[in-house]
């Protein structure tokens, strides 16, 4: 008789496992598991607990429907609880009379208005590591849990352990994302406040320093020039922060107008010639005599060009050379800067346009800046539906380039043309 009953239980267990394998809803699988565990072990109830790393307690993730609301927020401690002992020791536990066991945690009974007499608890293991506990409680007619009951629960436990672990991983990812979002919001708030609060006093400093430069004796020029120069650097940093923040918040706007890109590039490149001569760098321009017009925000595209030129001059040594080119394609225009500077490590190529990213560490870097110039350039080009990228040259140096659509309605053509 017993063998016949066990055989029916095994058939029922196999049917259940096949059905659960076809189910995609994790919560539905867990609820079905506690229902089958209760039925096949002839228990009053069954439940599943998952360990929560955040508060170091076990939490119910599947219970009978009539207990769901009363115990769903109950936290079961690892110490002084049977489920906690099973979890910590990664071993099954059968207790026929819980009142005689000091590990019994009665708070759950009190909350659910229930009385526990016996427990069969099985650890949920993934690669030998416990992730939770499966329990059957109160075998009917006060009978004792036996080896067949253990077999059934262990089989079910092996089937759901990975599901419970995935729930933990999903919870961890959600918590990490929430923390990341919070930090990102704090960063945005800081940038917005800092750029706003610094702008006015910095403007006063530069204004008064420039005025004093006109009226003080020449022997004070050097000190005032230092103030003006470094004030200008701070002003650039603040403007860069503001430009990026405006773009990410959606506040950035472009003022479309028709202008000559080759003429803008020539004018901007010419403004960097004094700096290039100071470093003995050959800064040359090749537009192939082109003179074409595009629709865009000339001021913002100039910012992108200036930042790319600053970057090239910063990382090109004395007696180096920089070549600037502009060309027109069928649906796009292409701007390129090629230098024979220090180049970019391959592992850094995909990150050079990120905010505050610097190839050199803050302890070893020899060049100034906060890693914002390239980020701003990227923002300005992407506002126009363009594409910007960087490459290493075969022998030495770097190539920075961007594409802009001649027709804003054909932006996708630009991205199709260049796939990094």
Which two structure tokens, joined as six digits, stand for 205? 């400093």
Report the domain count for the chain. Answer: 3
CATH code for the domain of 391 = 3.30.565.10
List per-residue pLDDT tens for the chain, 420 residues long. Answer: 455 566 676 777 777 777 766 666 888 888 888 898 999 999 999 999 999 988 899 999 999 888 888 888 899 999 989 999 999 999 999 999 998 999 999 999 999 899 999 999 999 999 999 999 999 999 988 899 999 999 999 999 988 888 888 888 877 788 788 888 788 777 777 767 767 777 778 888 888 888 888 888 888 888 888 888 888 777 777 776 666 666 655 555 778 899 999 999 999 999 999 999 999 999 999 876 677 889 998 988 998 999 999 999 988 989 999 999 999 888 899 999 999 988 888 888 878 887 655 555 443 344 445 467 888 889 889 888 999 999 988 878 899 999 999 876 655 555 555 444
Whether 195 and 276 map to the same domain: the answer is: no
pLDDT of residue 5: 61
Q: Are residues 165 and 115 in the same domain?
A: yes
Contact 159, 17 (CB under 8 A): yes
- Looking at residue 248, what is its pLDDT? 59
Using the 3D structure, point to which of 249, 281, 310 is the last residue of a domain: 249
CATH of the domain at 228: 1.10.287
Residues 379 and 234 in one domain: no
**Confidence at residue 48, expressed as pLDDT on a 0 to 100 scale:** 94
User: E strands within 68-118?
Assistant: 75-77, 93-95
- Are 141 and 30 members of one domain? yes
Spatial separation of the C-alpha atoms in residues 317 and 322, rounded to whole Å: 10
Whether 240 and 265 map to the same domain: the answer is no
Alpha-carbon gap, residue 39 to 36, rounded angstroms: 5
Q: What Å distances lie between residue 161 and 26, 49, 51, 166, 167, CA to CA?
A: 11, 11, 12, 9, 10
pLDDT of residue 356: 59
CATH number at residue 98: 3.30.450.40
Are residue 127 and residue 208 in the same domain, yes or no? no
Residues 191, 156 share a domain: no
Last residue of a domain, one of 153, 176, 199: 176
| Residue 47 and residue 34 in contact, taking contact as beta carbons nearer than 8 Å | yes
Q: What is the pLDDT of residues 164-173, one digit of tens each?
A: 888 888 777 8
Query: Are 187 and 286 in a shared domain?
Result: no
Q: Which domain holds residue 322?
A: 257-417
Q: 236 and 347, same structural domain?
A: no
15 lies in the same domain as 134: yes
Whether the model clears a pTM of 0.85, i.e. scores above it, the answer is no
Residues 30 and 127 in one domain: yes
What would the two tokens of residue 405 be?
A: 């659509």
Choose the final residue of a domain: 231, 249, 267.
249
- β-strand partners of 45: 137
Q: Do 170 and 40 sit in the same domain of this protein?
A: yes
């Amino acid at each position: 008789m017993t063998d016949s009953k066990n055989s029916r239980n095994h058939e029922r267990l196999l049917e259940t496992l096949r059905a659960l394998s076809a189910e995609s809803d994790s919560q539905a699988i867990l609820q079905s598991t506690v229902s089958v565990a209760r039925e096949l072990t002839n228990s009053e109830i069954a439940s599943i607990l998952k360990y929560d790393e955040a508060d170091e307690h076990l939490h119910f993730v599947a219970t009978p429907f009539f207990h769901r609301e009363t115990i769903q927020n109950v936290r079961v401690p690892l110490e002084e609880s049977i489920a906690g002992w099973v979890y910590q020791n990664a071993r099954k536990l059968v207790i026929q009379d819980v009142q005689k066991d000091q590990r019994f945690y009665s708070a759950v009974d009190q909350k659910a208005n229930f009385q526990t007499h016996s427990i069969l608890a099985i650890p949920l293991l993934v690669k030998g590591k416990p992730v939770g506990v499966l329990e059957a409680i109160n075998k009917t007619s006060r009978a004792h849990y036996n080896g067949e009951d253990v077999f059934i629960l262990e089989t079910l436990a092996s089937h759901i352990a990975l599901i419970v672990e995935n729930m933990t991983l999903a919870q961890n990812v959600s918590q990490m994302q929430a923390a990341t979002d919070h930090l990102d919001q704090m960063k945005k708030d800081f940038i917005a406040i800092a750029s706003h609060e610094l702008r006015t006093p910095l403007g006063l400093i530069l204004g008064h320093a420039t005025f004093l430069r006109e009226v003080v004796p020449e022997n004070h020029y050097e000190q005032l020039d230092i103030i003006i120069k470094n004030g200008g650097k701070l002003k650039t940093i603040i403007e860069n922060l503001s430009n990026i923040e405006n773009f990410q918040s959606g506040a950035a706007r472009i003022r479309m107008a028709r202008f000559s890109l080759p003429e803008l590039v020539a004018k901007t490149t010419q403004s960097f010639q004094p700096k290039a001569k100071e470093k003995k760098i050959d800064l040359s321009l090749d537009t192939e005599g082109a003179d074409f017009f595009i629709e865009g925000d000339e001021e913002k595209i100039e910012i992108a060009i200036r930042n790319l030129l600053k970057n090239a001059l910063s990382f090109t040594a004395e007696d180096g050379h920089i070549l600037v080119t502009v060309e027109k394609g069928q649906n796009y225009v292409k701007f390129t800067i090629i230098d024979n500077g220090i180049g970019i490590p391959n592992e850094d190529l995909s990150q050079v346009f990120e905010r505050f990213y610097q190839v050199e560490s803050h302890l070893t870097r020899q060049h100034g800046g906060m890693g914002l110039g390239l980020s701003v350039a990227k923002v300005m080009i992407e506002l126009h539906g363009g594409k910007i990228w960087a490459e290493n040259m075969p022998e030495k140096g770097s190539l920075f380039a961007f594409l802009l659509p001649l027709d804003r309605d054909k932006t996708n053509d630009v991205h199709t043309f260049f796939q990094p």
